[in-house]
């Protein structure tokens, strides 16, 4: 395999891992193997979706957190709250209160990612309106980094359809840095931009972006980590109304269908939950959804509100978000002057072409792949087909592939092992009975 460095935000704490098969069975890219009593992540395959974090009963799968001390490295610190953050707090009636609390805990400015989402929504709408060549497949949202990575791994043919607009997080980071540099006459390198994230995939996106050269985000803090501090800080908050620049259109992006609604095209589809997204992408790939203009796919059930690093139950958070946005203007610019810089079309465009990641293919060479497939099929015929995962591979087929690649042996299958032990014990009895002594 080509040597490439893979940065990941999902990690395993070996001490906590019991070596069970829960994560193994839930990984959408078959990136986990269990051996030596412990799970291992195949880094080439991992898309940082965080499914393993959510399913691990022992909390052995964790996200690599950026320590909040990193903030101290910068003269001016800007918080970029994901709209998901708004749904985490019981009794929160006014978003400004929360934004104010971010200032109270040490940030110098706040720029809402929901506002970034509003820039992005407009830009995506333009892409759809100006799309003259239609290849029978919709444009695909680039908002969920786990889905973009899933497409790189499992649906490389669809990469050209992923919309070439930067993510709301990046748009917000860009606008925030510009604003701070203008208003506080700061040098860009003195400004530290911190995204407050519902998921590990966004952490990876900030550290190792796929579609831009370098992220404008300097650090990522999980919602889980900052929740307590914010909750405390909100108790005695003043109000800085001017911090709230996003309307319900942008805030809605936190949940499934919010982006679709914000982009506002008639034939669009929003799907959440990575298995459901895989099914939808299969249909798109087969050309079954040829009338579709836009597809929003989110790895987590409930959208970002269901992210592995959130505090609140996604359904509760969704209801809170509904109440919060009920009385919010669609766009704040309709009701007040916004203190923010313009972002050009050029700035909102991605700069690096998404590359396929063919790590699930048996081999890069077709003839070799064919040979391997033939061997896989032969081995598979002798496996029980239970897909129990006891061997440490997620399915019998995956074990057969691992055997062909030299990472496992057929006797890793406990049913094969048992049959073999049975045969050998019979043999031993036979031998012992046939001897004269």
List contacts with another protein (CB under 8 A).
Answer: 154, 156-157, 282, 285-287, 358, 360-364, 366-367, 369-371, 373-374, 377
Cβ 156 to another protein shortest distance, Å: 7
By beta-carbon proximity to another protein, the closer residue of 56 and 403 is 403
**Shortest Cβ distance from residue 325 to another protein (Å)?**
37
Residue 79: which of 113, 106, 110, 105 has the closest Cα?
A: 110
CB of 281 to another protein, least distance (A): 12
Q: Residue 48's closest CA among 13, 83, 9?
A: 9
Work out how close the CB of 252 gets to another protein at its nearest, in angstroms, rounded to a whole number: 32
Quote the least distance from Cβ 370 to another protein, whole Å: 4
- Select 185 or 367, whichever has its Cβ closest to another protein: 367
- The residue whose two tokens read 């911190």 is 194
Q: Toward another protein, which CB reaches closer, 293 or 375?
A: 375
Least distance from another protein to the Cβ atom of residue 373, Å: 5
Nearer to another protein, 65 or 357 (CB): 357
Q: Write down how long the chain is.
A: 437
Please calculate the CA angle 361-48-51 and round it to the nearest 5 degrees: 100
Q: Which is nearer to another protein, 275 or 374 (CB)?
A: 374
Contacts of 80 (CB under 8 A, 6+ apart): 110, 111, 112, 113, 116, 169, 172, 173, 176, 193, 194, 195, 196, 217
Q: How far is the C-alpha of 348 from the C-alpha of 165, rounded, in Å?
A: 6
Query: Is 2 or 236 the residue whose CB approaches another protein more closely?
Result: 2
Helix (H) or strand (E) holding 272: strand 268-272
CB of 362 to another protein, least distance (A): 5
Pairing of strands 38-41, 32-35: antiparallel
Q: Output the six-digit token pair for 2.
A: 């080509």
- Whether the CB-CB separation of 206 and 184 falls below 8 Å is answered with no
Nearer to another protein, 203 or 398 (CB): 398
Residue closer to another protein by CB (options 371, 390) is 371
What secondary structure letter does DSSP report for 49? -
- The smaller minimum CB distance to another protein, of residues 108 and 157, is found at 157
DSSP 359-387: TTSS-SSHHHHHHHHHHHHHHHHTS----
Helix (H, G, I), strand (E, B), or coil: what is residue 3? coil
Residue 159 CB, nearest approach to another protein (Å): 10
Please classify residue 373 by burial: count the beta carbons closer than 10 Å to its beta carbon, then call 0-12 exposed, 13-18 middle and 19+ buried.
middle
Closest CB 378 distance from another protein, rounded Å: 11
Helix residue ranges per DSSP H, 105-143? 113-129
- CB nearer another protein, residue 156 or residue 329: 156
Nearest CA among 250, 240, 238, 239 for reference residue 333: 250
Sheet holding 76-81, edge to edge: 109-110, 76-81, 191-197, 219-222
Sign of the C-alpha dihedral computed for residues 307, 108, 178 and 339 taken in this order: positive
CB 405 → another protein: shortest distance, Å? 12
């Amino acid at each position: 395999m080509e040597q490439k460095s893979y940065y990941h935000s999902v990690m395993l704490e070996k001490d906590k891992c019991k070596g069970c098969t829960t994560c193994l069975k839930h990984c959408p890219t078959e990136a986990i193997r269990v051996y030596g009593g412990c799970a291992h992540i195949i880094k080439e395959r991992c898309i940082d979706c965080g499914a393993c974090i959510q399913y691990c009963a022992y909390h052995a799968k964790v996200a690599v957190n950026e320590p909040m001390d990193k903030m101290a490295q910068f003269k001016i610190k800007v918080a970029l709250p994901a709209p998901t953050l708004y749904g985490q707090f019981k009794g929160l009636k006014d978003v400004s209160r929360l934004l104010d609390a971010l200032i109270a805990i040490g940030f110098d400015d706040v720029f809402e990612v929901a506002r970034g989402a509003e820039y992005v929504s407009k830009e995506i709408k333009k892409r759809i309106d100006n799309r003259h060549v239609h290849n029978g497949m919709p444009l695909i949202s680039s908002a969920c980094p786990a889905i973009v990575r899933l497409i790189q791994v499992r649906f490389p043919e669809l990469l050209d359809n992923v919309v070439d607009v930067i993510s709301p997080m990046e748009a917000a980071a860009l606008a925030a840095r510009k604003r701070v540099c203008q208003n506080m006459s700061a040098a860009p390198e003195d400004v530290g931009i911190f995204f407050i994230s519902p998921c590990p995939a966004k952490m990876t996106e900030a550290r190792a972006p796929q579609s831009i050269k370098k992220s404008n985000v300097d650090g990522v803090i999980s919602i889980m980590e900052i929740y307590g501090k914010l909750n405390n800080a909100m108790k005695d908050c003043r109000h800085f109304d001017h911090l709230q620049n996003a309307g319900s259109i942008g805030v809605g992006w936190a949940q499934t269908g919010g982006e679709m609604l914000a982009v506002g095209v008639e034939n669009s589809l929003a799907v959440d939950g990575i298995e459901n997204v895989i099914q939808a992408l299969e249909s798109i790939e087969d050309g079954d959804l040829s009338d579709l203009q836009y597809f929003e796919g989110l790895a987590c059930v409930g959208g970002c509100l269901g992210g592995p690093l959130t505090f609140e139950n996604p359904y509760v958070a969704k209801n809170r978000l509904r109440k919060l946005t009920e009385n919010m203007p669609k766009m704040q610019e309709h009701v007040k002057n916004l203190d923010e810089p313009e972002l050009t079309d050029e700035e909102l465009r991605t700069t690096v072409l998404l590359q396929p990641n063919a790590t699930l293919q048996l081999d890069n060479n077709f003839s070799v792949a064919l040979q391997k497939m033939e061997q896989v099929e032969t081995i598979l015929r002798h496996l029980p087909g239970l897909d129990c995962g006891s061997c440490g591979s997620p399915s019998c087929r995956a074990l057969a592939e691992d055997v062909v690649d030299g990472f496992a042996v057929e006797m890793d299958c406990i049913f094969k092992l048992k049959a073999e032990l049975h045969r050998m014990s019979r043999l031993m009895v036979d031998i012992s009975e046939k001897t004269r002594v």
